[in-house]
Amino acid sequence: MTLNNLKIGIIGLGYVGLPLAVEFSKYYSTIGFDLNQQRIQQLKAGEDKTCEVSADDLKQAQYLDYSHDLKDLAECNFYIIAVPTPLDKHKNPDLTLLEKASATVGKLLSPNNYVVYESTVYPGATEEICLPILERESQLKFNQDFFVGYSPERINPGDKDHRLIDIVKVRN
Ligand SMILES: NC(=O)c1ccc[n+]([C@@H]2O[C@H](COP(=O)([O-])OP(=O)(O)OC[C@H]3O[C@@H](n4cnc5c(N)ncnc54)[C@H](O)[C@@H]3O)[C@@H](O)[C@H]2O)c1
């Protein structure tokens, strides 16, 4: 895979996933995937009810496709997972949705694909919880057949001064 044939799939189009999808689609072929069909319909109609992306910016994201159909996601070779990781009633992290999203992506993984976790999780969760699911579902080997990264989102919804493109994650 090279940057020329990069096809990005963003899983979970909420406060975090949608701005990412809009931004990446300026440079790379991008599919925004969400299980919530109503969310997909609204986005296709140019409406973001989280108000993180303006109607103008949504309109300009002409190379961004939205889908709730796994078939479309299967065309991707770089997956970014941005599903919710809430706390349960005992204030423990509930990783159920993250596990489900990992299983979904694991089933679609091909050799040389990448998976990046953008959801907020505690240290070690990527390697201890997510990676085994990806390996089990794909029957591929981490760091040999496919690669994984963790890039926790820093966005602060509603803060228009510190948007996705203003927040530096890696300095060189
Ligand atoms: N919102 C914030 O302020 C913020 C800031 C930094 C980090 N985060 C983290 O980012 C992650 C995402 O948070 P958010 O606020 O964007 O969530 P959100 O609730 O706004 O949106 C998540 C979206 O994921 C979809 N979804 C859930 N499971 C799915 C699955 N298996 N496949 C496809 N789509 C699925 C939901 O339908 C929803 O549209 C969380 O881990 C959160 O802690 C959030």
Domains and CATH numbers, the chain: 3-165 (3.40.50.720)
Distance from residue 62's CA to the centre of ligand 1 (Å): 23
For ligand 1, whether the C-beta of 95 sits within 6 Å is no
Asked if 11 contacts 82 with a C-beta cutoff of 8 angstroms, the reply is yes
Distance from residue 57's CA to the centre of ligand 1 (Å): 20
For ligand 1, whether the C-beta of 66 sits within 6 Å is no
| Local confidence band at 172 (pLDDT 50, 70, 90 cut-offs) | confident
Evaluated on CA atoms 43, 49, 55, 57, the torsion sign reads negative
| pTM reported for the whole predicted model | 0.96
H or E stretch covering 102: helix 96-108
When comparing pLDDT for 109 and 162, which is higher? 109
2 DSSP 8-state letter: -
The whole-number average pLDDT for the span 71-99 is 96
Asked if 148 contacts 116 with a C-beta cutoff of 8 angstroms, the reply is yes
Sheet holding 78-81, edge to edge: 64-67, 29-33, 7-11, 78-81, 114-117, 147-150
Name the residue at shortest CA distance from atom 7 of ligand 1: 153
The whole-number average pLDDT for the span 144-172 is 88
**DSSP three-state, residue 8:** strand
From 70, 83, 116, 130, the mutation candidate for ligand 1 (largest count of ligand atoms within 8 A of CB) is: 83
23-37, 43-57, 118-132, 154-168: segment of lowest average pLDDT: 154-168
Instruction: List Cα–Cα distances, 84 to 71, 94, 139, 160, in angstroms.
Output: 22, 9, 26, 22
Instruction: List Cα–Cα distances, 147 to 90, 103, 106, 152, in angstroms.
Output: 33, 15, 12, 16
